[in-house]
Homo-oligomer: A and B are copies of this chain.
């Protein structure tokens, strides 16, 4: 397998409640992404079930094993299209534990699984956090790292993926729209941009859309390059009065420079990773 220098990436913003009722929503999104040239297709966190799972009972009801029907469908799509698919799911783990997980499939093969380490809000009541670093795997669409939503807000986590060689970080998320702050550039987007440029990797975020249990999902699916520029999205740019209505399903496609992510140099004197002084970081 040669190392590709560029890859076309798609982030599919889907309505997870609709996908729970009819998994064809996921199939349609992936088909559409591939038809537009994507070789790496990212779906949201908890892509095929509810995104609001505030209790252990609700998480267990939504959970399925890694060899369950959602991953089987994703594997089928990945095999059929000969592409890489990344998506989130509620994973039934050991005993009664449920994890907020993500999988990476390449040409139909499951090549990585990950359990979200940093849990947000009432998820702490519902999911067991993971304790393994973000996996980075060599795929047909470049070296892909994966983490889930709030994980991306911890710079150390992105740094681990960069050090492990990630050229593109695929991040299934569920970002809630909030009334405060800048609705056109919420802090999740700013943090994703900063993470990309700080560690010089591409970041592909697939967000949820629709309204669910009173939460209006932001719909901020986006692709960011190694310079921190948003090269696609954010999908749903709300007006200053948040008056553009709920975010809608969409597929965003962008070509990213994988080779750029392999070069951490900044001019002739600096290097994004080598300039760190970890011995001083306590």
What residues of chain A have their CB less than 8 Å away from a CB belonging to chain B? 117-118, 120-124, 131, 133, 150, 153-157, 159-160, 163, 180-182, 187, 190-191, 193-195, 197-198, 227-229, 267, 269-270, 275-278, 280-282
Contact = CB atoms under 8 A, between A and B. Distances in A.
Question: Nearest 4 A-B pairs (CB), nearest first?
Answer: A194-B194, A155-B155, A156-B281, A187-B197
Contacts of A282: 133, 160, 163
A44 to B, nearest CB: 20
Interface centre among A190, A191, A229, A275 (most CB of B within 10 A): A190
Contacts of A276: 154, 156
Given A187-B197, A191-B198, A117 B277 contact: yes
Contacts of A123: 269
Contact of A193 (B121, B190, B227): B190
A121 B198 contact: no
A99 B191 CA distance: 31
Contact of A120 (B153, B194, B228, B269): B269
B269 A124 contact: yes
A187 B227 contact: yes
Contacts of A195: 194
A267 B121 contact: yes
A281 B193 contact: no
Nearest to A125: B269
Given A124-B269, A190-B190, A269-B124, A118 B197 contact: no
A37 to B, nearest CB: 25
